[in-house]
Amino acid sequence: MMTTTTSSPTLLCSFLSSKPSPPKSSFHLFQLRNPKPVNNAITFSNCFSPKPLVPKQSTLLCCAGRRKPTALTTTSSADDNFRTVLRIALWVAEGVYILWLFLLPYAPGDPAWAISSDTINAVLGLSLNFFFILPFLNFVGIHLMEAPLLHPMSEGLFNFVVGWTLMFAPLLFTDRKRDRFKGSLDVLWGMQMFLTNTFLIPYMAIRLNDANDDSVPSKRSQLGSVMTNGASVVGLIGGGVCLLSLLWALFGRTDANFGGIAERWEFLVGYLGSERLAYAFIWDIVLYIIFQPWLIGDNLQNIQENKVVLVKYLRYIPVVGLVAYLLCLEPEEEV
């Protein structure tokens, strides 16, 4: 048996290494280039030869879009909704006022359809003592007619409300929204003097209607001109009557045994709880407290310029704010 042996040739791998570079010197010589000559010479002609300045032209593009009146529209819509709600509330208040104070028998005193003779006599007596004119004439010795002897608390309450109502006349005739009321302001205020808020509440609701652009401002009536031109006199008379009414209610007729302040206050409480007229006066006072600053605030442009701030804050004080409005009214024939 023969054995064959094969020998593989040996592979020799040769590695070639690069030759080492000669070592660098530790000092390097820098070659200096010859700089280009700079001509620093300034000639006489170069100093005084102006060069035209050519401004760079740049174009500014302004891209502004038109603002959408979203906020204004929203505010106007909210105001319209508020006026609508307020107008409805006033008409509801008018219905409640008439039903509760005139027709229904649940309020203190007699309703209008069952009024007693005592109530009629009391109303006539209070009317004769209007603004304390007849009692004053009797006091100074003029006795053309004797003043009815009534309780000073009832006389004071009656004349206080009537004096306040008197001062509403110039305010209504100078109201900038008065033309929205198509009726006669003379008749309205005349009925207000007798039935107070029965007619003032509807006026407050009607003046909230939308303005008619085609309407021509109505000419002020003769009564309106007198009340407007004499607004300061009306304010002094009305304010004086209101003040006198308070003093009369507390200290009037001391010789007639109506008692002191405690007894008079006790009478007032019983009077309000038993007489429909007195009970209605309390409603009128509350509504006047609301309507006075409302109307004055809408007509501050009628006030003298240097007194607007004063009237703006005084308008919230019952009676006093209306007196301030009438005394500070701009003296114009047509406002």
CA distances for 300 relative to 130, 296, 333, angstroms: 31, 6, 16
> In this structure, are residues 130 and 159 in contact, taking their beta carbons and an 8 Å threshold?
yes
Among 163, 131, 197, which Cα is nearest to 320's? Answer: 163
How buried is 21 (Cβ within 10 angstroms: 0-12 exposed, 13-18 middle, 19+ buried)?
exposed
Among 53, 47, 119, 138, which Cα is nearest to 271's? Answer: 119
Among 324, 322, 313, 333, which Cα is nearest to 295's? Answer: 322
DSSP string, 170-229: HHHHT-TTGGG--S-HHHHHHHHHHHTHHHHHHHHHHTTSPP-TTPPPPPPPHHHHHHHH
Ramachandran region, residue 259 (left: φ > 0; alpha: ψ -120 to 50; beta: rest):
left
> In this structure, are residues 128 and 147 in contact, taking their beta carbons and an 8 Å threshold?
yes
Say how far apart CA 53 and CA 68 lie, in whole Å: 45
Domain boundaries, the chain: 81-210+223-327
pLDDT along the chain (335 residues), means of 10: 42 40 43 44 43 49 50 71 94 96 94 91 94 94 92 97 96 93 92 87 94 70 94 97 97 92 96 94 96 97 96 98 97 57
Provide the residue count of the chain: 335
**What is the SS3 assignment for 127-177?**
HHCHHHHHHHHHHCCCCCCCCCCCCHHHHHHHHHHHHHHHHHHHHHHCCCC
> In this structure, are residues 237 and 166 in contact, taking their beta carbons and an 8 Å threshold?
yes
> In this structure, are residues 117 and 110 in contact, taking their beta carbons and an 8 Å threshold?
no
> Residue written as tokens 């909210």?
78
SS3 332: coil
What does the pLDDT read at residue 14?
A: 41
What does the pLDDT read at residue 234?
A: 97
Q: Which amino acid belongs to residue 17? A: S
Among 162, 159, 195, 189, which Cα is nearest to 175's? Answer: 189
What does the pLDDT read at residue 249?
A: 97
> In this structure, are residues 245 and 159 in contact, taking their beta carbons and an 8 Å threshold?
yes
How buried is 250 (Cβ within 10 angstroms: 0-12 exposed, 13-18 middle, 19+ buried)?
middle
pTM, entire model:
0.76
Say how far apart CA 254 and CA 248 lie, in whole Å: 10
